[in-house]
Amino acid sequence: MDDKVLVNEKDSVQNIKLTNNDLKKVYNRWYFTTELSNSYDRLQGLAFCNALSKALKKLYANDEKAYIDALMRHMEFYNSEGTAGCLIHGIALSMEEKKANGIPVPGEVITGIKTGLMGPIAGIGDTIIWGTAKAIILALGCTFALQGNIIGAFIPFLFPLFGYILGWFFLKFGYRVGKDAVMKLMKSGMINTIITGASIMGLFMMGALSSSYVKVSTPLTFTLENAEPIVVQDILDQILVGVLPLICIFGIYWYFTRKGANYNKVILGILIISMIASFFGILG
């Protein structure tokens, strides 16, 4: 009797494995369709389900109900940063694979892991990829372009290439380590350290870009009788080199903090102020 029970339990555990090619198909479907189906009620949920659908079909090939349940599970609301968020895809696939192989992984747990990781992973992606890497790559391209080097026209294309490679790494990493290693990483506080470090680096880059590319000066001079002309720009440079660009940056920052990030109004305001100040000879 006992031997029969052991045999049945052994038979219930299958050995369905996703190949590297399966993971590539998941990644490419996600990478090229992430923002194509956003909706207010599910946001990226449909794109997430679409990316995993072929892999889920393979995992639950012999259980149509389980396949439908998995599709419904991954159609629910999902929203995270697209590149670093591939970590969640990998974890979800790892858990679905275990579930398909007979390990009792409740569907609610898979959904809960996705929901719990969406925010923290988005924080990492937005900070490192969009706040730091993008600024560095585009600044490098601007530097070459200002020097008249044609390489500057091609450097911005490094950003999508960087994102594609990094997203594939995140998906593979999530699939390999599963939920346990990621949860331990989050509990250790390392995630906050990474975000803080990347934020500081991004601020340094923005400061460097502001001082290098924001050009504001004044041609104002005052002439006194029997004295050399007083050049206002020379006086400002003696106080602090680049003080006018700094005032301009702080003015934009103040507007964003008080009035919100309305970029069109800021651009229009800068154009109007620049034209008026240039017409009256206040700014050069």
pLDDT digits (tens, 9 = 90+) for 23-34: 999 999 999 988
Q: What is the pLDDT, as a whole number, of residue 4? A: 43
- Same domain flag for 47 and 123: yes
For residues 8 and 258, the model is more confident at 258
Q: Is residue 57 part of a domain?
A: yes
3-state secondary structure of 78: strand
Q: Evaluate whether residue 2 is within a structural domain.
A: no
Q: State whether 59 and 133 are in the same domain.
A: yes
Question: How many domains, the chain?
Answer: 2
Residue-range definition of the domain harbouring residue 218:
214-279
Q: Tell me what pLDDT residue 198 has.
A: 59
What's residue 188's pLDDT? 59
Q: SS3 of 251, please?
A: helix
Question: Strand (E) positions, 177-273?
Answer: 221-222, 230-231
Q: Are 112 and 91 in contact (CB under 8 A)?
A: no
Residues 109 and 243 in one domain: no
Q: What is the mean pLDDT of residues 44-69?
A: 93
Q: 225-281, pLDDT tens digit by residue? A: 777 788 888 888 888 888 888 888 888 888 888 888 787 888 898 889 889 988 888
The predicted structure's pLDDT at residue 236: 84
| Same domain for 143 and 240 | no
Say what the pLDDT of residue 53 is.
94
- Strands 230-231 and 221-222 come out as antiparallel
Amino acid in position 157: F
Q: Which one of 204, 233, 262 terminates a domain?
A: 204
Domain final position from 204, 222, 237: 204
Residue 230 pairs in a beta bridge with: 222
Q: What does the buried/exposed string (b/e) look like for 207-235 if buried means 16 or more CB atoms within 10 Å of the residue's CB?
A: eebbeeeeebebebeeeeeeeeeeeeeee
Nearest residue to 91 via CA among 176, 190, 184, 1 = 176
Record the pTM. 0.67
Q: Single out the residue in 163, 183, 204 at which a domain terminates.
A: 204
Specify whether the CB–CB gap between 123 and 36 falls below 8 A: no
Q: Which residue has the higher pLDDT, 227 or 18?
A: 18
Q: How far apart are CA 284 and CA 277, in angstroms?
A: 8
